[in-house]
Amino acid sequence: MDWGRVKFFLGEVLRNFTRNAGMQATAIGTVAITIVLLGAFLFVRSTLAGLGNELLNQIEFSVYFKSDATSAQEASARAALTADPRVASVDFVSKKDGLAELRANTQGVIDTSLLTENPLPDKLRVRAKDADQVAAIAASARKIDGVDNVVYQQDVIVKLLQLGSVLRRVGIGVIVVFLLVAGIIISNTIRLTVFARRREISIMQLVGATGLYIRAPFICEGFLDGVLGGTIAVVVLTAARLTLWPKLLVALPWLPLNAAAINLPLLVLQLIVVGGAIGAVASWISVGRHLRT
């Protein structure tokens, strides 16, 4: 290892990097914004996917009675569902039990003591033997006298999947645009350093430095812009996750959100690598243009 060469190279990169601090900051900022968007998008996507899987596998659904349903109607409905061969079990949950369950699920976040009366209807909790049969059982349960509504999560799933595909399309579009913008800003930044160093470059060419040797410091500069931007983005995303995730859990208590669906270290690595890659590619193009003219 020739430390003199390493020192010289790093010195050149550092000199480039500190020459246009303002432009450098702009480039890093743009990369950071892009990566934050990318990270948020990946996060939402994987959460939705996790949610979808979770819900698809649920075989439990609720049959809500009208508020004026008689206990005879409720009993016959229960008997009818219990008799259905596709049903595994049927539990009756009274208004009172329902409220107690809600209290337990939300762990005091929703202040149920403010309620002057119990808004919940009586319901049956039905478990199907197979997730595929939930829709059919729900359809027949709807026809039973005294039943107001049947809520099974497949409805939610269909909507979630629709939302997911819209989000995916919009998100990918936005991210592509931002990646382009970040690339252009980095390549402009590099062009400025190239311009500031055009004498060095012409002398390097004159004394027989290879194209790769001339490019390397600029590529490193772009890469550094990208990696720093990516790192800032990861810090922002982590902060957002730590502060917003608990609030999200509270705000959407009925959704089985699963944070474990995301491989965080991998995501962090991916985001930083993406940042570095934008920077390196943008500067490669930018310096290449200069060397060819």
Partner 1 sequence: MISLRGVSLIYPNGVRALDNVSLEIAKGDFVFLVGHSGTGKSSLLRLLYRETVPTSGEITVDGIRVDRLRRGRIPALRRHLGVVFQDFKLLSDKTVWENVAFAMQVTGAHTKDILRQVPRALDLVGLAHKSRMYPGELSGGEAQRTAIARALVNNPKLLLCDEPTGNLDPSNTTEIMELLLRINLKGTTVVVATHNQAVVDRMRRRVVRLEDGKIVTDEERGYYYLGLGQGQVLSG
CA distance readout (Å), 241 to 30, 109, 120, 142, 168: 21, 20, 33, 40, 20
Contact between 4 and partner 1 (CB under 8 A)?
A: yes
Min dist. Cβ of residue 291 to partner 1 (A): 9
Contact between 200 and partner 1 (CB under 8 A)?
A: yes
CA distance readout (Å), 190 to 31, 206, 260: 14, 21, 40
- Which range in 45-53, 140-148, 152-160, 204-212 contacts partner 1 by CB under 8 A? 204-212
List the one residue from 162, 202, 238, 263 that touches partner 1 (CB under 8 A). 202
Query: Please, which residues have CB within 8 angstroms of residue 287's CB and are 6 or more apart in sequence?
Result: 190, 194, 214, 215, 218, 219
List the one residue from 204, 257, 264, 277 that touches partner 1 (CB under 8 A). 204
List the one residue from 25, 170, 203, 235 that touches partner 1 (CB under 8 A). 203
- Which range in 38-46, 86-94, 133-141, 207-215 contacts partner 1 by CB under 8 A? 207-215
Provide the token pair at 217.
Answer: 């410091």
Q: Which of residues 19-58 bind partner 1 (CB under 8 A)?
A: none
Site string for partner 1, 95-124 (x = CB under 8 A): ------------------------------
DSSP E strands: which ranges in 108-245?
123-128, 147-151
Min dist. Cβ of residue 221 to partner 1 (A): 16
Between CA 93 and CA 129, with CA 143 as vertex, the angle to 5 degrees is 60
Site string for partner 1, 211-240 (x = CB under 8 A): x-xx--------------------------
Site residue total, partner 1 (CB under 8 A):
19
Query: Please, which residues have CB within 8 angstroms of residue 142's CB and are 6 or more apart in sequence?
Result: 149, 150
List the one residue from 2, 68, 111, 117 that touches partner 1 (CB under 8 A). 2
List the one residue from 53, 89, 165, 210 that touches partner 1 (CB under 8 A). 210
Query: Please, which residues have CB within 8 angstroms of residue 286's CB and are 6 or more apart in sequence?
Result: 186, 187, 188, 190, 191, 194, 218, 222
Burial environment of residue 174 by CB neighbours within 10 A (0 to 12, 13 to 18, 19 or more) = middle
List the one residue from 14, 102, 209, 259 that touches partner 1 (CB under 8 A). 209
* Closer residue to partner 1, CB minimum distance, 199 or 247: 199
CA distance readout (Å), 67 to 64, 141, 247: 9, 17, 33
* Binding footprint of partner 1 on the chain (CB under 8 A): 2-5, 8, 199-200, 202-211, 213-214
